[in-house]
Structure 1
Amino acid sequence: MEEGKGEVKHVLLAKFKPEISAEEIENLIKGYSNLVNLIEPMKGFHWGTDVSIENLHQGFTHVFVSTFESTEGIAEYVAHPVHVEFANKFLPALDKVLVVDYKPTSA
């Protein structure tokens, strides 16, 4: 398999700033989930909130997982004007953020 080819997951862990209301968070999540309809390389999107009993979340409360067909697709997504516009609204609402891209493998 070529280096950049094959499914890639884009994982974003987020902690919203305390002053961001639940309604604002809901609207941001709706905007994030709509990106899959607007940016062709983005093939899937899932999100959820932390439910771990291990207490190792380091303050992160939300998890967003996007699926792409390749690392090139992620690069196209990151540079896409719709993503840039959304990121300019989303990122200022965050107190903490961590992004990891990985290629799923089987054991």
Structure 2
Amino acid sequence: MILHCVFLRFKSSVQEEEKQAIYEAIAALKEFIPGMVDVKYGPNVSPEGLSSGYNDGFTVTFEDETVRDYYLSHPDHKAVGDRIVRATDGGLSGILVFDMDI
């Protein structure tokens, strides 16, 4: 399984409703992408103060790398990805992606 972790530095102007809509759009991809097992999302709640400004994020669990790669190239994922880039501080520099084989 692949755990796809995405951490975000949203622009300060992005409202909670927009964040929720983005997360729901990601979760909706499960309907179109077989092997997309789980989606979780929310704000950083760590008390350590080590977030480097990445105060929101989501994870997607995939059955394997093949499913993850299909997700990455899927047009609906690309549309949500563009929406995320527009909502993050600095565009792509406001996004941190880390995948783990679990």
TM-score range, shorter chain: 0.7 to 0.9
1:50 aligned partner, one-letter code: N
Residue 100 of structure 1 and its aligned partner are, at CA, apart by: 0.7
Paired residue for 1:8? 2
Count of residue correspondences: 98
Work out which of the two has the higher radius of gyration on C-alpha atoms and give 1 or 2. Answer: 1
The structure 1 residue matched to 2:39, chosen from 40, 45, 68, is 45
Distance in 1, Cα, partners of 2:30 & 2:45: 25
CA distance in 1, matches of 2:85, 2:27: 15
Relative to the length of structure 1, the TM-score reads 0.83
How does the TM-score come out when normalised to structure 2?
0.87
CA RMSD of aligned residues (A): 1.2
Instruction: Encode CA deviations 1:43-65: one digit per residue, 9 max, x unaligned.
Output: 11111211111100111111211
Which protein has the bigger helix share? Answer: 2
Judging by fraction of residues, say which structure has more strand.
Answer: 1
Query: What stretches of structure 1 move > 6 A for 4+ residues in a row?
Result: none
- Mapped to 2, the partners of 1:37 and 1:91 lie a distance apart of 23
1:92 matched to 2:86: yes
